[in-house]
A and B are shown apart, each in its own frame.
Chain A
């Protein structure tokens, strides 16, 4: 208690010097938590967007379907079961029919995956309602990357060629009805979305689908003959593995930021001890043991950390809250970096993340505060009293 009382007195007595140190350290804490929040938000967005726009609550794959083997598409289609049909009618499931196709934008040849989807579906967060137009041509929606890579704009016409169930090749014109922004590459790059009924007609596969995606609210996961259910653990494994790898990089950054905070504390302590040698000698002359002096200086350093944490919480909470609401806009061209980055990243500050980060930071600050104080045990108090530099 005495150490805390005296350390507190020393800090308050130092006035502006203390508050400047505390403020600078609080900035370090805030940046550490903000950075972790950005990484968490980015990760969550990647998963959330994938769930919202690609996998919903889970996916029924046709038993012949293998996403890594394009040749399976020839046989990976079938009529959905009655139970699945009921779910579709209730709006809790949407079937999608895949087929390989080729488009010819500006005379070039581009292989695409043609996906037929119900324009009125509510399962995936895609603007499929834009396909609800009566046209002689086939209405299509594509992602922004797909549009950019193929120099396509809304209203453009492009020839599409496909092979139907009987093996016959056919071709028609696509009209680009809408270009949508997405952070999920697998619904954008090389994908063309057209109405399901048109796709089934083109491919001579009436009432058939390759996959059927259930809504997030749908708890259906029973086995259906001819179909295999894939849950989130399976479908999101790759993205989760990628997030884990990114997290490792995030930890490195966190360690770098923490090291800067440690350096600030360490330097402050070293300078403080150097500057206050006379005071240390006086304290010993007045009856303090070296251990007590070391304790006071350690507690002072640790208190700087605690005050910084409190100050960071005071001005950081509204700042981080506002930023989490408004998001952090990414510069133009980030989608060209080859990663799923939204236009705006919304940081996520979990309570657990903040608690763990703050605890580790404070604990390390206490340790770093102690390290320079060991010099005190080697000081000669008679020299220190006279202000002789040691």
Chain B
């Protein structure tokens, strides 16, 4: 095992019950991801990208093997420990933004900090900092319904980044965006990765995203078929 790696998996297997038997979504996954990486898990639909991301993000557990994230064995965590790990160290960006519709931009970005029970002053500082990173200070009182797709995803990025997590998991973050917004969002994430050093792990099959990645882990039919460093943007 690589002691410097933020994420390590060893013979990771994930099976889902289907009918009377099982469907194996991930087969014998071994990988290491180090701090500061801008990495994508790439593959066609059904290759197991989201499943792998969910396990690494402590939203699911492996059927066999180990997934060690920030020195935590995901398969052995209790619900509360997994929730705490997500709350303090992980950020999530979803394909459909998953913003809370009745909250303002400010309240959406503030939400993870409320769970950490930070003081109002600290929360306010961090929220404004995160919104400045994504350039949305002028939309602070808007509701998600009043924002464009690109703006929504930038709010989601701010929410993911507000607690300065170790790792951000982004599942198809550009799937619902046009080309221009996709590039804007990706450039924001590249900037955050370079300036703050947050590790980004993507699940994607979007070519636009792939061009920004510095490492591509190709998944096909639940197996890693290629793992290569690339130049990225």
Contacts and interface: CB of A to CB of B under 8 A. Distances in A.
B98 A2 contact: no
Contacts of A2: 114-115, 117
Interface stretch (A8-16, A105-113, A321-329): A8-16
B87 A287 contact: yes
A5 interface: yes
Contacts of A279: 98, 100-101
Interface stretch (B67-75, B76-84, B198-206): B76-84
A282 B94 contact: yes
B57 A285 contact: yes
A286 B92 contact: yes
B133 interface: no
B188 interface: no
B96 interface: yes
Contacts of A316: none
Interface stretch (A24-32, A144-152, A380-388): A380-388
Contacts of A6: 114
Nearest to A377: B79
B221 interface: no
Contact of B59 (A10, A15, A292, A382): A382
Nearest to A12: B102
Nearest to A17: B102
Contacts of A10: 102
Given A286-B115, A287-B87, A13 B103 contact: yes
B114 A385 contact: no
Contacts, number: 72
Interface string B28-66: 000000000000000000000010001001011000000
Given A14-B102, A385-B98, A287 B115 contact: yes
Given A9-B103, A279-B100, A385-B98, A286 B59 contact: no
Contacts of B96: 278, 386-387
A307 to B, nearest CB: 16
B83 A288 contact: yes
Contacts of B92: 282, 285-286
A217 to B, nearest CB: 63
Interface string B153-176: 000000100000000000000000
A287 B84 contact: yes
B54 A287 contact: no
B112 interface: yes
Q: Which of B107, B111, B112, B116 has the most CB of A within 10 A?
A: B111
A284 B114 contact: no
A290 B107 CA distance: 21
Interface string B11-38: 0000000000000000000000000000
B88 interface: yes
Contacts of A81: none
A12 B96 CA distance: 24
Nearest to A290: B79
A289 interface: yes
A69 B167 CA distance: 95
B86 interface: yes
A40 to B, nearest CB: 41
Contacts of A289: 79-80, 83
Q: Which of A13, A282, A290, A381 has the most CB of B within 10 A?
A: A282
A279 B101 CA distance: 9
Q: Which of A5, A286, A386 has the most CB of B within 10 A?
A: A286
Interface in A272-287: 278-279, 281-282, 284-287
B164 to A, nearest CB: 14
Contact of A382 (B60, B102, B115): B60
Interface in A286-311: 286-290, 292
B144 to A, nearest CB: 11
B83 A284 contact: yes
A287 B88 contact: yes
B112 A287 contact: yes
B86 to A, nearest CB: 4
A387 B171 CA distance: 14
Interface string A352-390: 000000000000000000000000000001100111000
A382 B54 contact: yes
B102 A282 contact: no
B92 to A, nearest CB: 5
Nearest to B160: A286
Contact of B83 (A5, A12, A278, A287): A287
Given A13-B107, A287-B84, A287-B88, 11 more contacts: A2-B115, A15-B102, A278-B96, A279-B98, A285-B57, A286-B87, A286-B111, A286-B115, A289-B80, A292-B115, A385-B98
Interface of B: 50, 54, 57, 59-60, 79-80, 83-84, 86-88, 90, 92, 94-96, 98, 100-103, 107, 111-112, 114-117, 159
Interface of A: 2, 5-6, 9-10, 12-15, 278-279, 281-282, 284-290, 292, 381-382, 385-387
10 contacts: A2-B115, A12-B102, A13-B101, A14-B102, A279-B100, A282-B94, A286-B159, A287-B112, A288-B115, A290-B79
User: Nearest 8 A-B pairs (CB), nearest first?
Assistant: A287-B87, A13-B102, A282-B98, A287-B86, A289-B83, A285-B92, A382-B54, A287-B115
